[in-house]
Amino acid sequence: MNDRHIVSSFDRDLDGVQIDLVRMGGLVEEALRNAARALATGDTALAQTVRKGDHVIDALELKIKTDVARVLALRAPTAGDLRLVLAVMDISSHLERCGDYAKNIAKRTVATADAPDLGDSTNALRRMSDFVEGMVQDALDAFIKRDVKRAKAVIDKDIEADQIYTTLFRSLLTHMMEVPHHITTGMQLHFIAKNIERVGDHATAIAEQTIYLVTGTLPEDDRDKGDSTSLGLAETAS
């Protein structure tokens, strides 16, 4: 189904929203990468750049939504075209949220710049962030190539992202219990960890949209959503 439309401007409209989406994805990946680097190296200037850059991502999301609304109103897309514009709209929302998380990480990086590192946590956060950023990248590549297999691999990876988060949560909790003086920093770092974990969820959602786009059905959600962090708490408390 690679045939072009009889009305060629329809193709241009569809190409346009996809180009914007890919651009937005690139900016989000960059923001996540920079936020993680700023956190690991204590580079507050870079963190500020990430904070200030978020409005470009927001503006792109608005443009995509506006253009998609126009396509829906003027072209009344059906079948694969309909699924494409719906997927683009949904993915743009997820990317926008990822941009917000990058911004929030940068904000907290500035706030914790002078605080002591809690063990190896900033490095662990960077590893987690790299992992999750890789998921976003894979999810977008899967979308561009309409690659269901790759999209499924992203969904499978989210379990690992959740596990990394749980480990970090336990480690931060231990630090805070041992030295209550570290609670403020610990909480900041925990929020950062949670933000990164959420980015993984959005990457998963993007991958699901790709599967919907290609197959016409959303994958069934059969993953165990039990929050394993509560177990960590119980273990530490006992």
Nearer to other proteins, 69 or 177 (CB): 69
In terms of Cβ atoms closer than 10 Å to its own Cβ (0-12, 13-18, 19+), residue 76 is exposed
Q: Site residues (CB under 8 A) for other proteins? A: 1, 3-7, 10, 76-83, 216-217
- The minimum distance between CB 81 and other proteins, in angstroms, equals 5
Residue type for 169, please? Answer: F
Nearer to other proteins, 184 or 215 (CB): 215
**Which two tokens mark 15?**
């190409």
- The minimum distance between CB 1 and other proteins, in angstroms, equals 6
Nearer to other proteins, 78 or 238 (CB): 78
Nearer to other proteins, 75 or 194 (CB): 75
CA 95 to each of CA 63, 100, 111, 174: distance values in angstroms, whole numbers, following the listed order? 13, 9, 24, 33
- The minimum distance between CB 151 and other proteins, in angstroms, equals 17
Alpha helices by DSSP H, listed for 146-182, are: 148-178
**Which two tokens mark 229?**
């962090």
Contacts of 172 (CB under 8 A, 6+ apart): 118, 121, 186, 189, 190, 193
- The minimum distance between CB 75 and other proteins, in angstroms, equals 8
Nearer to other proteins, 81 or 208 (CB): 81
- The minimum distance between CB 212 and other proteins, in angstroms, equals 10
